[in-house]
């Protein structure tokens, strides 16, 4: 042996022994795994003896199997039967009526009826990517606020909902008529670009998706501020980024609303992201003083055990039942009343070629009687997202 440690040949021999043991362990693991997949009655005496000698491996493999099954069950979509769902909605309606300060948290599940995909559903963006399947881009210029968006706007109008905190970037809450002050879009809005060189930040609402040229850590949209000439940036908060803009994220209003809330209604969210924001759950308060939590989602969420009630149903179906129970009419969406057209800042001369998205316009509908001479909006688009959602949409008459 050389001074100070084993020789090179000894180290090589020790490495060969280590690798041999690892391979023997892997082979034993494969054997035990194959035996466990058999029914107990089909196992030979020799296989039974091997299992008895490999108690630790059996425990490990059975634990892995339980974890896989648990994860699989969490990804499954579960629907309450119609009678059970109606019973739960009656309970939810009572909570809405009695709430002193109701805050609604919304996720991608409320927009699937507008053909905007969710993330973790069976056809969700992350689900498909994890399966190695491609996710195609789609033009969302036809997307409109869903029955759920319009119901939330009516509930706010009736002072039954005080604030909405959304993870969605699709701008559909804004387009439903919900006031800007009543929305916190924590991950941004695809229709809004801002100048951060101006104080306060200057906002530009567009009628097209401003994120065409932007990505993670790359937010400049290619257009300039009309006031100071600085580069505009989008408002999107990507995974791995920290949102710092005041609007449209509106974090201050979100945290104030959460601190005042006695009831929180979560619609169409897996809550896997929202759970990471402790300020939204009043975690500094003792459990008895935290808001009552009501969840509407087809899949498991990490907040299910905290919920006063979990409703397994599609958001549009639940909200239709809820509005019926509350005796409130759901206003139909109309592009002629869509606030985005009055909020939008038109592009300046020379900026028309700054995007290639198809523009949102009012021409999809006939103008209301007496307004047939109104000029059509020339403003720009929505698109560049993924796939097609699968939630059935409740039919509503257009105005």
> What is 23-62 written as a DSSP string?
HHHHHHHHHHHHHHTS-GGG--HHHHHHHHHTHHHHHHHH
Query: Which residues belong to the annotated binding site for Zn(2+)?
Result: 195, 198, 225, 228
CA distance 200 to 380: 25
* pLDDT classification of 125: cutoffs 50, 70, 90: very low
- Determine the pLDDT at residue 181: 95
- Of the CA atoms within 13 Å of residue 216, those in its CB half-sphere come to 4
The Cβ of residue 4 has, within 10 Å, a number of other Cβ atoms equal to 5
Mean per-residue pLDDT for 188-205? 95
pLDDT higher at 27 or 370: 27
Query: Which residues belong to the annotated binding site?
Result: 195, 198, 225, 228
Q: 3-class SS at 222?
A: strand
Q: Which residue has the tokens 């609604």?
A: 104
Residues 204, 351: contact at Cβ < 8 Å?
A: no
Mean per-residue pLDDT for 204-231? 93
DSSP code, position 273? T
CA distance 379 to 362: 10
The Cβ of residue 294 has, within 10 Å, a number of other Cβ atoms equal to 23
Examine the pLDDT at 91 and tell me if it is beyond 60: yes
Q: Which residue has the tokens 């035996």?
A: 35
Q: Which residues contact 222 (CB under 8 A, 6 or more apart)?
A: 213, 231, 354, 355
* pLDDT classification of 389: cutoffs 50, 70, 90: very low
CA distance 332 to 222: 36
Residues 277, 209: contact at Cβ < 8 Å?
A: no
Write down the pTM of the prediction.
0.73
Residues 119, 353: contact at Cβ < 8 Å?
A: no
- Residues above pLDDT 90, as percent of the chain: 52
Residues 308, 294: contact at Cβ < 8 Å?
A: yes
Identify the bridge partners of residue 215 per DSSP, sorted by sequence position.
218
Q: Which helix (H) or strand (E) holds 231?
A: strand 231-234
Examine the pLDDT at 38 and tell me if it is beyond 90: no
The Cβ of residue 346 has, within 10 Å, a number of other Cβ atoms equal to 13
Query: 3-class secondary structure for 112-131?
Result: HHHCCCCCCCCCCHHHHHHC
Active site residues: 187
Examine the pLDDT at 376 and tell me if it is beyond 70: no
Among 16-25, 97-106, 200-209, 335-344, the range scoring the smallest mean pLDDT is 16-25
- C-alpha angle 82/84/85, rounded to 5°? 65
Which candidate, 40, 87, 122, places its Cα nearest to that of 391? Answer: 122
CA distance 153 to 331: 9
Which candidate, 384, 389, 382, places its Cα nearest to that of 137? Answer: 384
Which candidate, 75, 30, 150, places its Cα nearest to that of 398? Answer: 150
Residues 120, 371: contact at Cβ < 8 Å?
A: no
Question: What burial letters (b/e) apply to 12-31, b meaning 16+ CB within 10 Å?
Answer: eeeeeeeeeeeeeeeeeeee
């Amino acid at each position: 042996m050389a001074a100070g440690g084993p020789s090179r040949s000894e180290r090589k021999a020790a490495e060969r022994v280590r690798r041999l043991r690892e391979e023997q362990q892997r082979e034993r693991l494969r054997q035990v795994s194959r035996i466990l997949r058999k029914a107990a009655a089909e196992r030979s005496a020799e296989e039974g003896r091997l299992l008895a000698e490999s108690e630790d491996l059996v425990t490990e493999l059975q634990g892995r199997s339980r974890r896989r099954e648990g994860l699989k069950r969490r990804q499954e979509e579960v629907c309450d039967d119609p009678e059970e769902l109606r019973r739960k909605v009656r309970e939810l309606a009572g909570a809405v009526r009695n709430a002193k300060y109701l805050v609604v948290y919304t996720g991608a599940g409320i927009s699937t009826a507008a053909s905007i995909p969710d993330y973790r559903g069976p056809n969700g963006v992350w689900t498909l990517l994890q399966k190695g399947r491609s996710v195609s881009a789609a033009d969302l210029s036809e997307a409109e606020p869903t029955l759920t968006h319009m119901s939330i706007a009516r509930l706010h109008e009736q002072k039954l909902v005080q604030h909405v905190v959304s993870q969605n970037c699709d701008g559909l809450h804004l387009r439903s008529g919900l006031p800007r002050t009543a929305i916190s879009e924590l991950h941004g809005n695809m229709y809004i670009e801002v100048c951060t060189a101006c104080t306060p930040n200057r906002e530009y609402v567009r009628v097209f998706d401003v994120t065409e040229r932007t990505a993670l850590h790359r937010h400049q949209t290619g257009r300039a501020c009309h006031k100071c000439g600085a580069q505009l940036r989008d408002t999107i908060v990507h995974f791995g980024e920290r949102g710092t803009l005041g609007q449209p994220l509106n974090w201050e209003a979100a945290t104030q609303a959460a601190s005042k809330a006695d009831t929180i209604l979560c619609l169409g969210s897996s809550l896997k992201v929202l759970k990471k924001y402790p300020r939204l759950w009043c975690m500094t308060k003792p459990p008895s003083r935290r808001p009552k939590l009501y969840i509407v989602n087809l899949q498991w969420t990490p907040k299910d055990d905290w919920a006063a009630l979990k409703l397994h149903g599609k958001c549009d179906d639940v909200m239709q039942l809820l509005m019926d129970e509350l005796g409130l009419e759901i206003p139909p969406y109309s592009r002629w009343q869509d606030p985005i057209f009055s909020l939008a800042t038109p592009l300046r001369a020379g900026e028309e070629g700054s995007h290639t998205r198809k523009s949102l316009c009012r021409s999809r509908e006939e103008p209301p009687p007496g307004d047939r001479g109104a000029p059509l909006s020339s403003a720009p688009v929505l698109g560049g997202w993924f796939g097609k959602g699968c939630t059935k949409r409740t039919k509503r008459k257009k105005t």
